[in-house]
């Protein structure tokens, strides 16, 4: 019934990564995201570089991870880890994501409490934040080019952007407004399935 869809949309990964590869990959994502842009880095590495997830699977996982409580990026690590190796995979991905950053913040905290000064990184970060924001914008552009092909999709995109960035509605409220329309529009129908 949905054979064609299955072959095109699922199983993009050439071969599932091992536990160590999972941990190292999430470590790379964490360290690359100095100054922010974790979502964009995750996509860059998980979808573009490693091809562990299709674009659509990644985007929906990202939103699921935002809806559920918890830090979005930790959640995403758990989600990807579970996909390949169940709960052990979740631990590996999580540990990879946070181990080195935890060591780094602890060193910074030690420095802070010993010398009562915030480590002097302000200027460097001041330059990195615009780059991280730019990466986030570029991610929106690259993914948008693929999935904003119809008027309904564009309307949904604009609506949630306005609700979230302009009106600053909480995520749940914004999703309660846009989510049902999105699900209705996305529901597989004979004529639309092929896209």
Positions in 82-141 near other proteins (CB under 8 A): 82-83, 86-87, 90, 94, 97-98, 100-102, 104-106, 108-110, 112-113, 118-119, 121, 123-141
Nearer to other proteins by Cβ, of 22 and 59: the residue is 59
Q: Note whether 40 and 139 are within 8 A (CB).
A: yes
Among 170, 176, 190, 194, binds other proteins (CB under 8 A): 170
Nearest approach, Cβ of 17 to other proteins (angstroms)? 15
Per CB under 8 A, does 10 bind other proteins?
yes
Among 46, 78, 85, 92, binds other proteins (CB under 8 A): 78
Integer-rounded Cα radius of gyration of the chain: 19
Per CB under 8 A, does 176 bind other proteins?
no
Nearer to other proteins by Cβ, of 113 and 191: the residue is 113
Spatial separation of the C-alpha atoms in residues 91 and 107, rounded to whole Å? 23
Nearer to other proteins by Cβ, of 20 and 138: the residue is 138
Least Cα distance to 51 among 6, 80, 13, 99 occurs for 13
Per CB under 8 A, does 191 bind other proteins?
no
Q: Count of residues binding other proteins (CB under 8 A)?
A: 112
Q: Note whether 133 and 37 are within 8 A (CB).
A: yes
Spatial separation of the C-alpha atoms in residues 80 and 8, rounded to whole Å? 20
Nearer to other proteins by Cβ, of 20 and 68: the residue is 68
Footprint (CB under 8 A) of other proteins, residues 40-59: 40-41, 44, 55-57, 59
Nearest approach, Cβ of 72 to other proteins (angstroms)? 5
Spatial separation of the C-alpha atoms in residues 150 and 140, rounded to whole Å? 16
Q: Which helix or strand (DSSP H or E) is residue 94 part of?
A: helix 72-115
Nearer to other proteins by Cβ, of 20 and 158: the residue is 158
- Take residue 90 and report the two structure tokens written for it: 């979740």
Within 10 A of 104 (CB to CB), how many other CB atoms are there? 13
71: helix, coil or strand?
A: coil
């Amino acid at each position: 019934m949905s054979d064609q869809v299955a072959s095109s949309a699922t199983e993009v990964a050439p071969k599932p990564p091992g536990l160590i590869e999972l941990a190292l990959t999430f470590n790379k994502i964490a360290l690359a995201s100095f100054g922010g842009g974790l979502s964009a880095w995750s996509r860059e590495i998980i979808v573009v570089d490693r091809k562990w997830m299709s674009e659509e699977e990644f985007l929906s996982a990202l939103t699921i991870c935002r809806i559920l409580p918890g830090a979005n990026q930790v959640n995403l690590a758990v989600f990807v880890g579970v996909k390949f190796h169940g709960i052990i995979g979740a631990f590996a991905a999580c540990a990879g994501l946070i181990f080195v950053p935890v060591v780094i913040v602890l060193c910074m905290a030690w420095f802070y409490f010993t010398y009562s000064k915030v480590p002097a990184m302000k200027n460097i970060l001041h330059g990195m934040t615009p780059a991280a924001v730019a990466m986030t914008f570029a991610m929106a552009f690259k993914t948008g080019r693929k999935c904003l092909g119809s008027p309904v999709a564009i309307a949904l995109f604009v609506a949630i952007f306005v609700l979230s960035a302009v009106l600053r509605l909480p995520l749940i409220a914004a999703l309660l407004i846009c989510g049902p329309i999105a699900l209705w529009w996305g529901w597989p129908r004979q004529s639309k399935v092929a896209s």
